[in-house]
Structure 1
Amino acid sequence: MKRILVTGGAGSIGSFVCEYLIDRGHEVIALDNGSSRKVEHLFETGRFKFVQDSIMNKDVLERQVQRSDIVIHLAAIADPKRYVTEPLNVLNINVKGSIQLLELCAAKGAKVIFASTSEVPGRNTQVPFNEEADRVLGPPSINRWCYSTGKALIEHFLYAYRQQENLPFVIMRFFNVYGPRCDDLGQGRVIPIFMEKLLGGQPLTIHGDGKQTRCFTFIEDACQAVVELALNPAAEGLCFNVGNDRETSILELAQTLIKVGQFESDIVFKPHVEVFGKSYEDIPRRIPDVRRIKSVINWEASTSLEDGLRKTIDFYRDWAKQ
């Protein structure tokens, strides 16, 4: 049995990760500055602790790291609107908070499982992205790139800590995780935003022309990968794409949601600049090369987009009634 700290453990991905770790017999501490609503069902297990605080609170963070064998670091600001409107907050939490955590883990000798992002390669047009793909970014004057840059910087720190202080780590780059518990209606990423409109009988607004593509990964698939990467020694010292490699345009996503949920909403289009302002830049295609994760831990996403969206729609319909 391991004692595992999950930062951001009461969030969407974190709550599933905590649940799966407990199901496998481990003790779990969830550190999160948000509500415990998504993890309250875990209190009765006797192997779960919730600490409501921020990774910026060094004293609290140090106490939890000292109690842990493994730290799964999911806590971050990951909302594209906040990249543009709050770049300083994004950098402080995602960079300063993470560096503080790595220092504590190195001192303790705790293995770090770091949630990076599929945005690290940026504008690179050589898709699918493998884990060694070059980074091609816009200028620092465009706030949109602060998130990608912050995550990549922590990847650099992890490789440096391993080289100089023998810190064990695993890097995970998530590709558009969606599903139950993934943000409140209308907040965060594209699917909760679409779901609020659909459940309210309103048109779906697509930013840009809808031809931009993503690879949507069902949350239960992604979280099973997180747990296996955390516990499997073969994954140590490596970076992994965690994603489904089915490429889907945002327009196709909207159409599929309407079809699967039997909604009657129309689709309208709005320029990016009207939504995010001039300090945002979209990435046309983002597709993972998933050969490494399949070969090392024998994982691949198994939930089809249609099945995942059906489960997601059922969840948000129930959520809206509460």
Structure 2
Amino acid sequence: MNILVTGGAGFIGRWVVKKLVYDGHTVTVFDNLSNGRIDNIQEFAEVKFVKGNINNKEDLDGLFKEKYDIIYHLAASINVQDSIDNPEKTFLNDTVGTFNILERAKKQMFGKKGRMNGASWILGSDEETCPCKVVFMSTCMVYDICDDAGISEIHPVKPISPYGGSKIAAENMVLSYYNTYKLPTVVIRPFNTYGPFQKTGGEGGVIAIFIKNSILGEPINIYGTGEQTRDFLYVEDCADFVVQAGYNSDVNGEIINAGTGRDISINELSKLVSKNKVPINHIKHIHPQSEILKLKCDCSKAKRIMGWKPKYSLESGLIRTEKWIKNLEYELV
């Protein structure tokens, strides 16, 4: 298959690309490198890289001269704190950018001249069309706080940041294109993902930052009380879930979670990573209103429909992540 991965030079995108290449597909990565790094995909010589922006018409015109069987749409502004400080950027990238991808996919599948007659499509006789599926990467940060039962896909949503609000708006557009136009789409909500190739600097993930500080003998800083919990998903498990969501037609029109079903407090995580080697400090939270106090995934739907379940425990994922980070030159990340 010919596959497009937007945001494919990012952390999760890199692992999705690796899985797709391993499966023998032709892959194009589209990324503006605002958050991703070309180094993430340099080992995949067979991958075509196109630098561009999902909100730039000319960039998209050039990109969609090709036809794609699956579009994995991962490109987004993903920093919760940044979304509070600059909500317009997050909305444009996460919501409007997603709309732009949906429109291009719709035109590829049904043509520029195609129109609906009732629930059926009438296609232009002189247009070349190609079936297409869109896999939309959303986030667990759309959910409300949960109890020990965990969060299923019918759990209430409660956007407490413009990031969460923008993702919910984009989700609704993605599902509307499935329900209205019969464009195959799926919304995926992976929980907090970590692992090799995640940034270890200020914009990195909490696990990557904690491990780096522990290795360098630097204090671990926790925003707030540290009592907030997260369900941490190892990146290879996440990438396998993302890719399988594109392959599986049974998930079309659905929202699907991915996580481990185990949550851990940030305080407990810091102790697990630090092994009593470095001090652990609590510092003032920049935007405490954006903090969801408990996130724990119920991924039974993914298991039931896709046959997916995580392979890596938190402990085994931490070992693999630490091994990778120990080989980094920290000034580059």
Matched, 1:41 2:43: yes
Amino acid at match of 1:148: G
Paired residue for 2:281, among 268, 282, 305?
268
Q: Is the 8 A contact 2:215 2:326 kept in 1?
A: yes
Change (3 A) 1:65 1:132: farther
Report the alpha carbon displacement of residue 183 of structure 1 after superposing the two structures with TM.
Answer: 1.9
Report the alpha carbon displacement of residue 310 of structure 1 after superposing the two structures with TM.
Answer: 0.9
Q: Is the 8 A contact 2:146 2:295 kept in 1?
A: no
Query: Could you give the per-residue CA deviations for residues 73-127 of structure 1, whole angstroms, max 9, x where no partner exists?
Result: 0011111231222222111111111111111111112210000010112346685
**Cα RMSD after superposing both structures:** 1.8
Query: Could you give the per-residue CA deviations for residues 150-192 of structure 1, whole angstroms, max 9, x where no partner exists?
Result: 1111111122111211110111101000000112434332122
Amino acid at match of 1:169: T
Partner of 2:227: 211
Give distance in 2, aligned partners of 1:127 and 1:30. 38
Give distance in 1, aligned partners of 2:216 and 2:9. 27
Give distance in 2, aligned partners of 1:227 and 1:306. 24
Give distance in 2, aligned partners of 1:224 and 1:199. 29
Change (3 A) 1:66 1:112: farther
Amino acid at match of 1:293: A
Change (3 A) 1:255 1:31: same
Q: Within 5 A, what are the aligned runs for 1:228-247? A: 228-247=244-263
Matched, 1:129 2:155: no
Give distance in 2, aligned partners of 1:163 and 1:235. 13
Give distance in 2, aligned partners of 1:192 and 1:129. 25
Partner of 1:114: 136
Matched, 1:16 2:15: yes
Structure 1: which 5+ residue stretches go unaligned?
139-144
Q: Within 5 A, what are the aligned runs for 1:163-182? A: 163-182=179-198
SS in 2 for 1:61: helix
SS in 2 for 1:303: coil
Q: Is the 8 A contact 1:6 1:74 kept in 2?
A: yes
Partner of 1:282: 291
Partner of 1:32: 31
Percent identity reads 31
Query: Could you give the per-residue CA deviations for residues 5-28 of structure 1, whole angstroms, max 9, x where no partner exists?
Result: 000001111111111101111100
Report the alpha carbon displacement of residue 133 of structure 1 after superposing the two structures with TM.
Answer: 1.7
Give distance in 2, aligned partners of 1:174 and 1:64. 27
Change (3 A) 1:305 1:99: same
Q: How many residues align?
A: 305
Q: Within 5 A, what are the aligned runs for 1:68-87? A: 68-87=68-87
Amino acid at match of 2:217: G
Q: Is the 8 A contact 2:148 2:296 kept in 1?
A: no
Q: Is the 8 A contact 1:179 1:309 kept in 2?
A: yes
Q: Within 5 A, what are the aligned runs for 1:302-321? A: 302-320=311-329
Report the alpha carbon displacement of residue 69 of structure 1 after superposing the two structures with TM.
Answer: 1.4
SS in 1 for 2:153: coil
Paired residue for 1:196, among 206, 212, 219?
212
Give distance in 2, aligned partners of 1:126 and 1:153. 28
Structure 2: which 5+ residue stretches go unaligned?
110-131
SS in 2 for 1:293: helix
SS in 1 for 2:5: strand
Partner of 2:50: 51
SS in 2 for 1:287: coil
SS in 2 for 1:225: helix
Matched, 1:94 2:94: yes
Q: Which one is further off, 193-202 or 8-17?
A: 193-202
SS in 2 for 1:171: strand
What is the TM-score when the length of structure 1 is the normalising length?
Answer: 0.90
SS in 1 for 2:281: strand
Q: Is the 8 A contact 1:169 1:236 kept in 2?
A: yes
SS in 2 for 1:129: coil
Change (3 A) 1:135 1:126: farther
Report the alpha carbon displacement of residue 226 of structure 1 after superposing the two structures with TM.
Answer: 0.9
Give distance in 1, aligned partners of 2:205 and 2:168. 21
The structure that has the greater radius of gyration is 2
Report the alpha carbon displacement of residue 66 of structure 1 after superposing the two structures with TM.
Answer: 4.5
Report the alpha carbon displacement of residue 230 of structure 1 after superposing the two structures with TM.
Answer: 0.7
